[in-house]
Copies of this chain bind each other. A is one copy, B any other.
Amino acid sequence: MMRHFSKSDILESDSFFRRNLINCLSGYKSLNLIGTKSSEGTSNLAPFSQVFHIGATPPLVGILFRPHTVKRDTLENILDTGSFSLNQVTPAFYKQAHWASARWDGSEFEKTGLEELYREGFYAPFVKSSPLQLGCSLVETQTLKVNETVLLIGSIEHIYVEEKGLRTDGSLDLNILEAVTVSGLDEYHVGKKLARLSYAKPDREVEEI
């Protein structure tokens, strides 16, 4: 049985129901902890599900931030310092990652017990226990007219990845890295591989590779 919601059904629904539903519609989302440090030296850590691939040459990543109408530490630290890290989350610390989204005073690293890692020549902290860490620098931001959402574009300056998850063709085995994915606002999953598929061509059906 299919359930149907029109746009007016959606707009007239309870705001809690609507927020849960709409946040689930795109499907599984990536989960990254963004590590930053203010220009005064306070580190910050926050989970984001809106990080995506923008391009490979040069390597670029995009992040969507909700409207910059209230204090947003992560966005402000990146705008001030130009530096941030992206850190994949595993089942070993996804609860701490979620907890980092609370309104803390002071550093979320300290509060949640996640250990910060600094690397020479890079300003923002990494999450030490993450198996896939990216060091990024700010390229530009654009504000979307439609609802004041901020799209931030970053350049990938450094990749640190657990060797066991790196294949010889450059692809990563996210199952082996134990990357966590998120649906909606608060539900966490690991991935279970179906298959890799051959490059799609009209003259032959795709095959598992």
Q: Which residues in chain A, 172-203, are within 8 Å of chain B measured between CB atoms?
A: 172, 174-175, 179-181, 183-202
Considering the complex of A and B, which 3 residue pairs feature the smallest CB-CB distances, nearest first?
Answer: A27-B30, A17-B170, A20-B170
Minimum Cβ distance to chain B for residue A154 (Å): 10
Give the CA-CA distance A169 to B184 in the complex, in Å: 11
B103 and A22 contacting across the interface, CB-CB below 8 Å: no
**For residues 99 through 144 of chain A, which have their beta carbon under 8 Å from a beta carbon of chain B?**
99-105, 111, 132-134, 139-140, 142, 144
Which residues from chain B contact A18 at a C-beta distance below 8 Å?
A: 56-57, 59, 170
Cα(A146)–Cα(B153), bound, Å: 8
Does residue A70 face the partner (Cβ distance < 8 Å to B)? no
Is the CB of A79 closer than 8 A to any CB of chain B?
Answer: no
* Residues of chain B lying within 8 A (CB to CB) of residue A22: 53, 55-56, 59, 156
**A169 / chain B contacts, CB cutoff of 8 Å:** 16-17, 20
Q: Assuming the A-B contacts A7-B158, A189-B193, are A26 and B16 also in contact, with contact meaning beta carbons closer than 8 angstroms in the complex?
A: no
Instruction: Write out the residue numbers on chain B whose beta carbons fall within 8 Å of the beta carbon of A156.
Output: 7, 10, 22, 25
How close is A105's CB to chain B, nearest CB, in angstroms? 8
